[in-house]
Structure 1
Amino acid sequence: MDKIYHILKSAHSGWRYLVLIMLVLAIVQALAGWLGKKPYTEGNRKFNVFTLIFVHVQILFGLGLYFLSPLVQAGIRYWKMEHIGMMIFAAILVTVGNARSKRSEDAASKHRTIALYFGLALIVIVASIIQMVQLDPTRTFWGVS
């Protein structure tokens, strides 16, 4: 079990960079489309779906860690409550944003919905990572822990 825990921990730590990059790119693309009055293309839709998938994979890594981590089993509140709660909330924001953008009629509304929901999710994720760094000085925002 210890080996699986370390593999999941490394995957979860490394995958966060891909999630952050995908979210930032999706937000920039949505803002450019919204403010530039650009059409919502199939490429936009696919990129948003890939971003959603990356976030969901990260949640799966995190849930695996939740059940294997000695930090959670030791009862450390941040890991048992705040971190997982904030991350699941961020994943819900991404999921709802993607679903709502599909239902929107015009391109501006689709872009605005993605920018809003993905942007809020990014804020929640970054806040959770900052909180983690403050609670555990052995971890860094950009360092693989």
Structure 2
Amino acid sequence: MYIGLKHLHSGLAYLALLTLAIVVIYALIGALSNRPFTERDRKIAMVAFILAHVQLLVGLILYFVSPLGFSLLTGGGAMSDSAARLTALEHPVINILAIVVITIGYTRAKKFAEDRAKFRSIYMLYAIGLVLILSRIPWENWLG
């Protein structure tokens, strides 16, 4: 189960990051071109929103079944080792924060009446969430 979840979390990350980047660019172009915010735009933002949340859910499950997740915090010594601290604390906390920011961007966009404000809410807050996620990816484990 652990290996399957680990592969799912890693593979889904590519898809989630790609869709977040596409939505940020797409919404930025929409805001700059002053085009109307359509149902299609909402659905594109929703796909990235859903993928980010599924990725978080898989990550949280993995965190509690992994020998490198929560157990590192309870065993002690994780704060003195930067790789252990990233895995046990920084990666999950920052990614939860990133998903909260993305959620705020999506829900705010639904409440605005002006099209440009909807695009702005999505591209700004999705971009912040994307940067937060990218900042806490364990690159040496992921690419190596």
TM class by shorter chain equals: 0.7 to 0.9
Distance 1:31 1:119 in 2: 10
1:48 aligns with: 45
Q: How does 1:126-141 map to 2 (within 5 A)?
A: 126-129=134-137, 132-133=138-139, 137=140, 139-140=141-142
The one-letter code matched in structure 1 to 2:33 is G
1:99 aligns with 2:99: no
- Structure 1 residue runs without a partner (length 5+): none
Structure 2 residue ranges without an equivalent (≥5): 74-83
- Residue number among 113, 121, 126 corresponding to 2:129 in the alignment: 121
- 1:16-95 superposed matches below 5 A: 16-72=13-69, 73-75=71-73, 76-95=84-103
Q: Distance in 2 between matches of 1:82 and 1:99?
A: 26
AA in 2 matched with 1:74? L
> Percent sequence identity over matched residues?
35
- Report the TM-score, using the length of structure 1 for normalisation: 0.87
TM-score under structure 2 length normalisation: 0.88
Deviations 1:74-95 (A, max 9, x none): 3333222111001101110111
